[in-house]
Structure 1
Amino acid sequence: MHSKRRKILFYCQSLVGLGHLTSSLLVIRELSTYADVDLIHGGQGLQQMPQLPGFRHLRLPTILIDSATDELYAPDSDKPIEVVWAERAAAIEQFVNWPYDAVMVEFFPFGRRRLKREILGLFASVRQRCGVIPIFCFVREILVPAPLDAEKHMVKLVQDHIHTIFVRGDQDIVRFEETFSLTAEIADRLVYVGYVSPPPPASWPARQNKIVVSQGGGEIGKTLLRAAIQTAPMLPHYHFLVVTSSRASASEIAELEALVSGPNVQVVSFLNNFQETLQTAVLSISLGGDNTLMDVISTRTPALAFPYAGNSEQGLRIEKLASKGFVLPLTENDLAPERLSQKIREALNQTYPQQAIAIDGAAELSRRVRTILAESA
């Protein structure tokens, strides 16, 4: 039986970085096989959004969090924040194309609570225009721990609004309750779909003596890149490919290039085929950010990770993956060239774990949504 195409409204607002949008787009790619998806997104934008059947998107006027004051502000506007909120509401009002079969909201109510009025406003419009349709939440497996009162409030919001919570993660690696103590109260709505990563390659190329050193999309990580460049002369048989952030300035790149003392180091500012590059590498050295770790795991590349101190979530994920042998963590002390070359040899000599990690999260989530919509039709 040929079922009609569905319509799904998807809301994703990143307040820092691009990881959330990247994961959301991998999910939308899967959903678009049977549904027209309207995406409302804010925060940092991508240079180019994917071309998919029935896919429309609205980029809202940007609102970000000021790390110094913890206040919301609009970086592209000199208008008061209240005016920016009103502009966003008007843009949403114009963009939505009622009715929808379902709504997917990224992270809320476990995060993005600063945007609560906008999101709950959207939920109210949905109820008014579409009646009772499922509202899904799509959230990573590790949360920044919150006080009990805040957790209770999140549980209440889930019970009032959310049909299913899709967790992007593998419960054999990390369980949701490790960072959310009231998980038992919403366990009936929780579904682990696996990590969301690009699909693994159809055929595997041969590995070369290449070590990929990367800092992800952020500003942090220069110490790691410097350490790797200074270690390279001790490992002359390996080619070090050092990837700076795409936002690195010419002077920052020149500063790294000035540290290069031999022919086995190449500094590049961006790789748009990061995953393919990892497939031919013997080792990845990175800050262990979400998307990098997923690329590393889906390509089964041995890895060293230097967790960014400002983010407990990444530290915990690295610790869990390290306990299963997927990654070796680095500390500040390991960045001295002698120590780092030792760590690199150690990682290269380890046997890669046999255990498979669930990384098919986008396709699994899409299948589950399709089933739920078929049942509620």
Structure 2
Amino acid sequence: MHTKRRKILFYCQSLVGLGHLTSSLLVIRELLAYADVDLIHGGQGLQHMPELPGFRQLRLPRILIDSASDELYAPDRDDSIETVWAERAAAIERFVDWPYDAVIVEFFPFGRRRLKKEILGLFASVRQQCGAIPIFCFVREILVPAPLAAEQRMLQLVREHIHTVFVRGDPAIVRFEETFSLTAEIADRLVYVGYVSPPSPASLPTRQSKIVVSQGGGEIGKALLRAAVQTAPLLPDYQFLVVVSSRATAGEIAELQRLVQSSNVQVVSFLSNFQEHLQTAALSISLGGDNTLMDVISTRTPALAYPYAGNSEQGLRIEKLVGKGFVFPLTENDLVPERLSVKVRETIKQTYPQQAIAIYGAAEISQRIRVILEGGCCGN
């Protein structure tokens, strides 16, 4: 049976880091098999967005969170935040190409409360232009714990607006109710789809004596990179590939280069083929960010993770994966060369767990949406 090509509107806003956008793009690649996708995004952006048939994207004027004051600010502008909000609203209005068959919103209403007005405005336009089309939410499996009153507001928004909540995670590792106490109230709309990861390679190449040390897309993690560079002389039989954040300045990269005391260290500012490097690595050392962990697991690479103290979500995910033997944790005390070198050797010797983790979330979300749309399901 030949079905018509669909049109999907996708909204993703990263206020810190790149993980949310990266995951969204993996889902979009799957959706493009049967739908044209219009992506509205803001916050941190990739240096090179993909150009794909059927894919349009709108990069909104950036709004980020100031980690010191916890206030929103527009990093590229001197205008007031109200002016930037108005510009974003106008840009969205010009970009949308009504009608759509479905909408996907990343994270909201479980997060992005500061963008609530913009998102609910978009929902209102959708209802006006398209009627009761399904709105899907796409959320990670671990939330930052919130007071009960805040959880009740999230629950109300799901009930009012969201057709299905797709949880990117594997309940055998972490269950949604561990960080969202009202999960039972939305059990009828909640589906675990597995982690959103690039597909596993059909076969893994031979591991080399290479250690990939990565900072991820944010500004944290400099201490981890410094520790790895200083540990390299104690592990001369390994090559260290140190990948700094795409946001690192030339000065920060030069500062790290100055610490290099051995010939087995290479500092790079970006790796387009990160997963391929992991496939041949003896070990990954990282902050244990969402996307890095998925890359590590899909390539079955032994891993050390140093969770960022300010992010309870990453800490809990790492703790759960440590419990299953997929990752080994680092603490601040381990960031001295003598201790880190011992941790490296111990972790490389460990037997990799046999248990499989559900990592095909992007394909699963795409397939489930396709079934809903072809079943003529009309929303809540």
What is the CA–CA distance in structure 2 between the aligned matches of 1:66 and 1:257, rounded to whole Å? Answer: 28
Q: Which has the higher contact order (CA 8 A, sep 6+)?
A: 2
Aligned to 1:39: 39
Q: Aligned AA for 1:153? A: R
Comparing 262-271 with 290-299, which one deviates more in the overlay? 262-271
1:365 counterpart = 2:365: yes
Instruction: Give the match for residue 3 of structure 2.
Output: 3
Equivalent in the alignment of 2:204: 204
- CA separation in 1, counterparts of 2:74 and 2:51? 28
Q: What corresponds to 2:107 in structure 1?
A: 107
Q: Where does structure 1 differ by over 6 angstroms across 4 or more consecutive aligned residues?
A: none
Q: Secondary structure at the match of 1:376?
A: coil
Aligned residue for 1:50? 50
Label 1:25 to 1:308 Cα distance change in 2 as closer, same or farther (>3 A): same
State yes or no: 1:230 paired with 2:230. Answer: yes
Deviation per CA, 1:318-367: give whole Å up to 9, x if none: 00000000000000111121211111111011100000111101001000
Is residue 16–residue 218 contact of structure 2 (8 Å, CA) maintained in 1?
no
- 1:269 correspondence with 2:269: yes
- Give the drift of 1:87: 1.5
Aligned-pair CA distance for 1:82: 1.9
**What's the CA shift string for 1:304-330, capped at 9, x where partnerless?**
001111111111010000000000000
Q: Output one character per residue of 1:67-92: Cα deviation in whole Å (capped at 9) or x when no partner.
A: 23222222222222222222211111
Q: Distance in 2 between matches of 1:282 and 1:25?
A: 28
2:309 is matched with which residue?
A: 309
Report the counterpart of residue 179 of structure 2 in structure 1.
179
Task: Work out the CA distance in 2 between the residues paired with 1:27 and 1:200.
Answer: 15
- TM-score, normalising length from structure 2? 0.97
Alignment pair present for 1:163 and 2:139: no
Letter in 2 for 1:9: L
Q: Are 2:22 and 1:22 equivalent residues in the alignment?
A: yes
Q: How does 1:288-327 map to 2 (within 5 A)?
A: 288-327=288-327
Cα deviation code 1:35-91 (max 9, x no counterpart): 011111111222222122211111111112222322222222222222222221111
Q: Which amino acid aligns with 1:271?
A: L
Partner of 2:247: 247
Q: Secondary structure at the match of 2:375?
A: helix
Residues 235 and 196 of structure 1: CA distance in aligned 2, closer, same or farther (over 3 Å): same
TM-score (ref. length: structure 1) = 0.97
CA displacement, residues 13-50 of structure 1 (integer Å, 9 cap, x when unaligned): 11111111111011000001000111111112222221
CA distance in 2, matches of 1:250, 1:76: 19
Contact 2:102 2:134 in 1 (8 A): yes
Distance 1:15 1:335, change over 3 A: same
**Residue matched to 1:345:** 345
More divergent stretch after superposition (152-161 vs 254-263)? 254-263
1: CA distance, partners of 2:360 / 2:376: 25
Of 347-356 and 84-93, deviating more is: 84-93
Q: Distance in 1 between matches of 2:86 and 2:252?
A: 39
One-letter amino acid of the counterpart of residue 326, structure 2: F
For structure 1, which segment, 332-341 or 59-68, has the greater mean C-alpha deviation from structure 2 after superposition?
A: 59-68
Which whole-Å deviations, capped at 9, do the CAs of 1:266-299 have from their partners, x for residues lacking one? Answer: 2222211110001000100111111111111111
Q: What is the Cα deviation at residue 259 of structure 1?
A: 2.4
Q: Which residue of 1 aligns with 2:287?
A: 287
Structure 2 unaligned residues grouped into runs of 5+? none
| Map of 2:278 onto structure 1 | 278
Q: Which residue of 2 aligns with 1:119?
A: 119
The code of the aligned residue for 2:117 comes to R
Report the more deviating stretch, 118-127 or 255-264.
255-264
Q: Which amino acid aligns with 2:298?
A: S
* Mean Cα deviation higher: 364-373 or 255-264: 255-264
Change (3 A) 1:219 1:185: same
**Count of matched residue positions in the alignment of Structure 1 and Structure 2:** 377
Larger deviation: 57-66 or 156-165?
57-66
Letter in 1 for 2:55: F
AA of the residue aligned to 1:13 = Q
